[in-house]
Structure 1
């Protein structure tokens, strides 16, 4: 199967994606199935390894495949139920989410309410006519200049806090970008402080790289313990601190202005780098907060984010901004040889340049706010005193805490029998935090089974009480 051709290279990942869907659907065994490695598929399909990784990342995000450290990618057949008992909890969640008929409340996809996928594809068709293939550069390993410049302009806030196109790097997906950061920052074997709860993608990636993770939990009042942070920065060989730009998810906490300033001062005092997660930075329901990056030393700052949370699945690229280590970053992106669609990137750039992104964000934030309010009413109605929660300030999920001690894995398993998938809180920690929490999506599109799913959750929490 040859995917390279006169126009195919830009869209090779789409053909790889379709090939993998067919391959997964052909699986008919009763156990989990190991899929071909990146290198095997690259040789089989005659495309780059990064193109294969890009397609795999889309499949992983959809819950069709999952990765196992130092082993590869796996898929369960659609007809096969995940193991009832043991096994990796995240693997079981992914497997359950792709089974037919499941009410999936475990996801975190804000753009499900309003994506720009159709607009992107339309722009792409127009740009194909404007940019014949023979006029396109053969390789732009850090991303096309138009999109890098658009992002640099968006993140610039003053003459001293400005970014340039050369400070922006675009990769196939967020995981690929973070893997490059691990290499460039030399994080293997080092100590990193992360806010907790923290996205499981980031936690898994750091674990696979041998990073020592110190979790700094948010308090029930929605604050970071600055005294503990100060002590950790003083006592531990901390390489960097990773925090959200404005709103921390899944907890939905907006850091108070005084806390942001205090954290910035601590980082400056200890000369520590900030790795800022801006994935949800533009999805705050209310007036935008001053991002943490506006308060810290820009010479010890790296920002990372992705487009899919606000644009949709047709823009899965991840990106980072950094003023430092440009030669090493360029080298790593060149080594990865990401073969990204230059036309698709230009289409995304047009959305920024035209102001279409800002119009879209206003609509999306309003829809998310309305969905969150409706979900809050349903939670109060169906779960009553089983859970407590803080109304979310951004994004598409609720972070619920059980009011009584429960076995949350038992809740998870009991819900699977009711064809409901939720995300247990332990997935968002590496040291046993959040066992009494769970994350639920509120982008349910008027799901007709939502009320029964929430009632089933209430029953599962009641049956799983301990003591």
Structure 2
């Protein structure tokens, strides 16, 4: 399940590419395409909840204008920047539309980091962020994540010891993979430390609108925040529309860099997304449906975990309040070894080691409850329990 070795290639990779760790998740998805495997591995939104009919209506309206098939400005079409700005209470000049939020993260890193600059990430880490920071040859420092998000107390100690990060990255709502949400104290303290020490905060927030329990949180405040958003988790990944919100000087830097990457995004996809996001009645109803169904699926998963795994291996997890993931601990088990037994039993997950930077996460695993029905999730956990039994017998 590992990526092909770069050293075995006949092509000499750049130093930047040589430093990038392959994504075990992407490799795993290839293995779990078998129809007999119930996969809780991927971080995909539910295909059956994608509003395809409404997207088709938007496509039909937009394509009637030939200009929708033309190039657009590098910052993205004005109607979409206005919709995003209006939804988030900012100004269109502080918004840049990108080819998914992953591109926003990549361009931000390229615009702000030199090789050797320090970047602080959570541990476990969002693998896509780790790959981005490795690609620019940053010095990566990982802080074990807490129940309140980024460990701001440990960050403050690092700063007192002279560590000078250029960027601190976190997935603020329903962390991927840990599932936690940054508390109000964490958000406030991050903003204060950024103002005092001059680093940038990248607030990665693809899941914020998917809260189905608990209290909503305001974004991280302050002028040193680059906030990333996406249409992938609430509309459709294939639109490939994301955005960043930041101060105009950061937007200008990223826009300049973007011109050398792909000139601009798809005018057609951006205008479709503007049509969808700008329809407040539709979006209110659609997001409400997503929340309701994800709540049902999360409840089915956690109920089955308690029933089938609670007495067997003392499973530990935090009850999801939103997003798409549940982060588990199976004390005494190596989940990388467990995965082979699980796939044979017809179920898949992502071992915790795939998300580790420095922390020992061998007894952790990530489950996604988004793509399977409640009945399928119940069956998937039953198969996972079978795999645990098989591993114990082995």
TM-score (norm 1): 0.73
Q: Aligned residue for 1:16?
A: none
Q: Aligned residue for 1:312?
A: 236
Q: Aligned residue for 1:368?
A: 294
Q: Following TM superposition, by how much is the alpha carbon of 1:145 offset from its aligned partner in structure 2, in angstroms?
A: 1.0
Matches for 1:258-337 after TM superposition, within 5 Å: 258-286=185-213, 289-293=216-220, 295=221, 297-298=222-223, 300-323=224-247, 324-337=249-262
Distance in 2, Cα, partners of 1:353 & 1:417: 46
Match of 1:138 among 56, 60, 71: 71
CA shift in 2, pair 1:136/1:410, >3 Å: closer
Preserved contact between residue 193 and residue 238 of structure 1 (Cα < 8 Å): yes
Q: Aligned residue for 1:47?
A: none
Q: Following TM superposition, by how much is the alpha carbon of 1:384 offset from its aligned partner in structure 2, in angstroms?
A: 1.9
Preserved contact between residue 69 and residue 268 of structure 2 (Cα < 8 Å): no
Q: Aligned residue for 2:9?
A: none
Q: Following TM superposition, by how much is the alpha carbon of 1:276 offset from its aligned partner in structure 2, in angstroms?
A: 0.7
CA shift in 2, pair 1:448/1:260, >3 Å: closer
CA shift in 2, pair 1:390/1:448, >3 Å: closer
Matches for 1:108-187 after TM superposition, within 5 Å: 108-112=43-47, 114-129=49-64, 131-133=65-67, 137-156=70-89, 163-187=90-114
What's the secondary structure of 1:110's corresponding residue? coil
Match of 1:229 among 155, 160, 182: 155
1:225-261 CA-to-partner distances (Å, cap 9, x unmatched) read 3321101123212112112334423222233323332
CA shift in 2, pair 1:236/1:464, >3 Å: farther
CA shift in 2, pair 1:141/1:401, >3 Å: same
Preserved contact between residue 72 and residue 265 of structure 2 (Cα < 8 Å): no
Distance in 2, Cα, partners of 1:383 & 1:122: 45
What's the secondary structure of 2:233's corresponding residue? helix
Deviates more, 1:138-147 or 1:248-257: 248-257
1:432-466 CA-to-partner distances (Å, cap 9, x unmatched) read 43221111111244376544432332243345469
Q: Aligned residue for 1:455?
A: 382
Q: Aligned residue for 1:429?
A: 356
Distance in 2, Cα, partners of 1:265 & 1:375: 38
1:99-126 CA-to-partner distances (Å, cap 9, x unmatched) read 3432111122234352223311221112
Match of 2:40 among 71, 84, 105: 105
Q: Following TM superposition, by how much is the alpha carbon of 1:224 offset from its aligned partner in structure 2, in angstroms?
A: 4.5
RMSD: 2.9
What's the secondary structure of 1:309's corresponding residue? coil
Distance in 2, Cα, partners of 1:322 & 1:282: 19
Q: Does 1:348 align with 2:273?
A: yes
Matches for 1:198-277 after TM superposition, within 5 Å: 198-219=125-146, 221-222=147-148, 224-234=150-160, 235-277=162-204
Q: Aligned residue for 1:401?
A: 329
Structure 1 residues without counterparts, runs of 5 or longer: 1-30, 35-68, 72-86, 157-162
Structure 2 residues without counterparts, runs of 5 or longer: 7-15
1:252-278 CA-to-partner distances (Å, cap 9, x unmatched) read 223332333233323333232211111
1:116-163 CA-to-partner distances (Å, cap 9, x unmatched) read 23311221112212x124x8653322211110111111121xxxxxx3
Equivalent pairs counted in the alignment come to 375
What's the secondary structure of 1:282's corresponding residue? helix
TM-score (norm 2): 0.85
What's the secondary structure of 2:169's corresponding residue? strand
